[in-house]
Amino acid sequence: MVSKSKRVLALVLTAMMASAALAGCGPTEVTQTQNSTAGETTESKAAGDSAESGDGESKASAEAVDIYSDEMIKNVKDKMKEEAAQTDGVISLKVWCSGDDLQFEKKLIKEFEEKYKSDDGSYSFKIKASGAIGEDNAGGKIIESPQDGADVFNFADDQLSTLVEAKAIAQVSDVFQNNLIANNTEDAVGVCSINGTPYAFPKTSDNGYFLYYDKRVFKDDSEVASFDDMIQKANSNKKSVYFNLTNGWYNAGVYFTAGVKIEYKDGKQTTTFDSDEGLAAAKAMCHLAESSDKGFLGTAGSSGDNAAVQKGFKEGTLAAAVIGTWMGPAIKEAIGEENVGAAKLPTILINGEQKQTESFGGYKIVGVNQFSKYQITSQALAYFLTNPESQLKRYNERGLIPTSNEALADEKVKVDPALKAINDQKAYAHAQGKSVSGVFWASNVGGFGGEIVAAKGKIDDAALKKSLKDLDEQINK
C-alpha cells in the first residue's frame, strides 16, 4: 500500500511539475483541470484515512508515506530550489512562536535546515524565528497584514476559522495532508480542518486548563474534589487556591458549567450570558470571590498568570492553581516534582449544587501564511515542526502534550499526570474553535470577572444582570 501511494504521489508530482512549467507560458486552464482531479483523489484518500486513523497506530495507517525517504526529500528539495529561484537562491522565512518555546523551536529549525540542505548549493535558508507575536494573537496579526506576517506561525486553534474566512491561511499541501491525517488523533485533525479541508498542522493538545496542586497540602485527588473544600483547606494552611476569574479564557468555564451557550458557528458568535444560567454562573463566581484573601485568589495582579502562579508556588502562597501544562516545569521547579499533583478541575457551587467545572480544551497548531512566497518550504517546515518525532522532543523538553498517536504512545508520555488530568477533564472541555472567535476575546468577559473579584463578590443581582446583558451586546452584534 505504501509503495502504491508513493507511486500515485510521484505521478501527481510529475504532473504538477509539468503543469507548473506549462503555467509559465501556457494557459492556466490546463493546470486547473489537473489540479481538480488531483484534489478529488486526495480527498477520497483523506476520507479513507480518517476512518482508519482511529486505531491509533500511525505506522499501520495505509496512506501515510515516509516523508523523509530519499525520494521524497529529493522531490521537496527540487521544489525548494524552484521557490528559491525567485529570490536569488535564498529562502528567507519568518516563524512566529511563543517566546517561551523560541529556543526549542530554533533547535528544530536548525535540524530542518540540515535535513533539506541543498545538495548543489543552489539555495540556502535564512529562517528567522521570533517570539514577539505569541500564539494567542498570531492569527489576528496575520489577518491584519498578511504580507508582514510570518510564513509559518503557531497559534491557538480558535483563530483558525477567522483565518480561513480572511483568506490568510494556506491549505495543507497534498504532500503532507495524508501524513498529517494519519499521524495525529482524529480529534486533532478535526480541529485543524474546516469543512473537511486541513488548513493547519496540530502541534500540542494541551491548550486547556486543569488543576495543579501541591501534594503537601492536598494528599491526593480525593482532596481536590470541590472548590469550596479546597479553599477551606488552603485557608487553614494560610495558602490560596488560584483560579483567574479576571480572564475570559478561564472564567468561561464557569459559564459553561452553568449552562450558558457560547457558540461560534458559520462565522457568527453567539452567547447567552443574559439568562438565568448566566446569572447563576456570575453568582457562583461571586461565591468564590467572597473567599478572596481567605483561601482564594481570583486575579493575576499586574504581572500575568504565569508570573503569579510561579511566584505563588515559589513563595508558598499557593496550594493549587487552575492553569495549563506550560506552567508544569515551573511548578515542578518551585515545589519539587514529587509534590506536584494534577487533576481535573474541582466542582463548583452553582445554584446550591456542586457541579463539575467545565473548561476550554484546545490545541496549539501551526499554519502557513497564504501569502508566503515559499509555500512548499513553509509547509515542509510546518510539517517538520509538528511531526511525531518533534512532538516527542517537545514533550521531553517543554512538557507539552503531543497530538500524534505515535508520540502519545510513548511510555513517558502515557504516565504523565498532566495528560491524565487533561483526559479526565476532556469530557467537560469545550472545543475552543467551535465556541469562540476574536469577538469574544475582544469583549470584556474578563473585565466583568475582574469587577466581581475586586468587589469580593458583593454585587447585587440587578447589577450582575446589567453587566451580563452588556456582555451579550458586545458579543452578539
Partner 1 sequence: MNYLDYVQMTKGQRFAYNIKSFFTGIPGAIVKLFVVIGNFLKNVFSFIVTGFKNYGSRFAKGDIGTKLSYVVMGAGNMMHGQIGKGICFLAAEIAYFAFMINFGWSYITKIYATNVQVDENTLVNGVIGKEPPIYQEDSVFGGSKKVINLDTLDNSNKVLLFFVMTVIVCIAFFAIYITNTKSAYATQKTLAEGKKPIGFIAELKMFLDERFHVTLLTLPILLLILFTILPIIFTIFMAFTNYDKEHQPPGNMYWWVGFANFADVFYSNPLKSQTFGKILIWTLVWAVFATFTNYIFGIILALLINKKEIRFKAFWRTMFVITAAVPQFVTLLLMRLILSDDGAVNSLLQGAGLPVIPFLSDATAARITVIVVNMWVGIPYTMLITSGLLMNIPEDLYESARIDGANAFQQFTKITFPYIFFVTTPYLITTFVGNINNFNVIYFLTGGGPSPSSYYQAGQTDLLVTWLYKLTVNSSDFNLASVIGIIVFVVCAAGSLITFNMSKASKNEEEFS
Partner 2 sequence: MTNSKSSIQGGYAAKKKAVNTLVYVILTVMVIIWIFPILWLIMQSFRGESGISTSYFFPKEWTFDNYKRLFVEVDDAGNVLPLDEMRFPYLRWILNTLLVATLSCVISTLFILMVSYTLSRLRFKSRKTFLNLGLILGMFPGFMSMAATYSIMEIFGLKQQLIALVIVYSAGAGLGYQVAKGFFDTIPRSLDEAAKIDGATRNQIFWRIILPLSKPIIVYTALTTFTGPWADYIFVSYFMKDNSDNYTVALGLYSMLGNQTISEYFTVFCAGAVLIAIPITILFVVMQRFYVAGVTGGAVKG
Residues that bind partner 2 in the complex, under the rule CB under 8 A: 94, 96, 98-100, 102-103, 106, 130-134, 141, 145, 147-148, 150, 303-307, 310-311, 314-315
CB 359 within 8 A of CB 350: no
Phi, psi of 357 (to 5 degrees): -70, 130
Q: Please, which residue, 60 or 442, has the CB nearer to partner 1?
A: 442
- With CB cut-offs between 5 and 8 Å by kind, which of partner 1, partner 2, none does residue 133 bind? partner 2
Q: Please, which residue, 175 or 418, has the CB nearer to partner 1?
A: 175
Check binding of 371 to partner 1 (CB under 8 A). Answer: yes
Check binding of 232 to partner 1 (CB under 8 A). Answer: no
Q: Please, which residue, 428 or 448, has the CB nearer to partner 1?
A: 448
Residue 161 carries which side chain, given as an amino acid letter?
Answer: S
Q: Output the CA torsion 388→394→400→403 (10° steps).
A: -10
Residue 63 CA to its chain's centroid (Å): 25
Residue 187 CB contacts under 8 Å (≥ 6 apart), including other chains: 205
Q: What is the footprint of partner 1 within residues 59-98 (CB under 8 A)?
A: 79
CB of 98 to partner 2, least distance (A): 7
Buried b (16+ CB within 10 A) or exposed e, 259-286: bbebebeeeebebbbbbebbbbbbbbbb
CA distance 393 to 407: 9
Sketch the per residue contact string, 261 through 300, with partner 1: x for CB under 8 A, - otherwise.
Answer: --------------------------------x-----x-
Phi, psi of 92 (to 5 degrees): -105, 120
Stretch that binds partner 1, among 149-157, 174-182, 217-225, 388-396 (CB under 8 A): 174-182
Check binding of 235 to partner 1 (CB under 8 A). Answer: no
CA distance 464 to 21: 64
Q: What is the footprint of partner 1 within residues 302-321 (CB under 8 A)?
A: 302-303, 308, 311
Q: In terms of Cα–Cα distance, which of 393, 355, 344 is closest to 208?
A: 344
- With CB cut-offs between 5 and 8 Å by kind, which of partner 1, partner 2, none does residue 364 bind? none
- With CB cut-offs between 5 and 8 Å by kind, which of partner 1, partner 2, none does residue 100 bind? partner 2
Helices marked H in 427-460 — which ranges?
A: 432-435, 438-442, 445-454
Q: Please, which residue, 157 or 174, has the CB nearer to partner 1?
A: 174
DSSP class of 421: H
Beta bridge partners of 320: 213, 241
- With CB cut-offs between 5 and 8 Å by kind, which of partner 2, partner 1, none does residue 474 bind? partner 1
Helices marked H in 53-128 — which ranges?
A: 70-85, 102-115
Check binding of 229 to partner 1 (CB under 8 A). Answer: no
Check binding of 439 to partner 1 (CB under 8 A). Answer: yes
| Interaction site with partner 1 (CB under 8 A) | 9, 12-13, 16, 19-20, 23, 28, 31-32, 34-36, 38-39, 42, 79, 140, 143-144, 146-147, 165-168, 170-171, 173-175, 177, 293, 299, 301-303, 308, 311, 370-371, 375-376, 379, 438-439, 442-448, 450-451, 453-454, 466-468, 470-471, 473-474
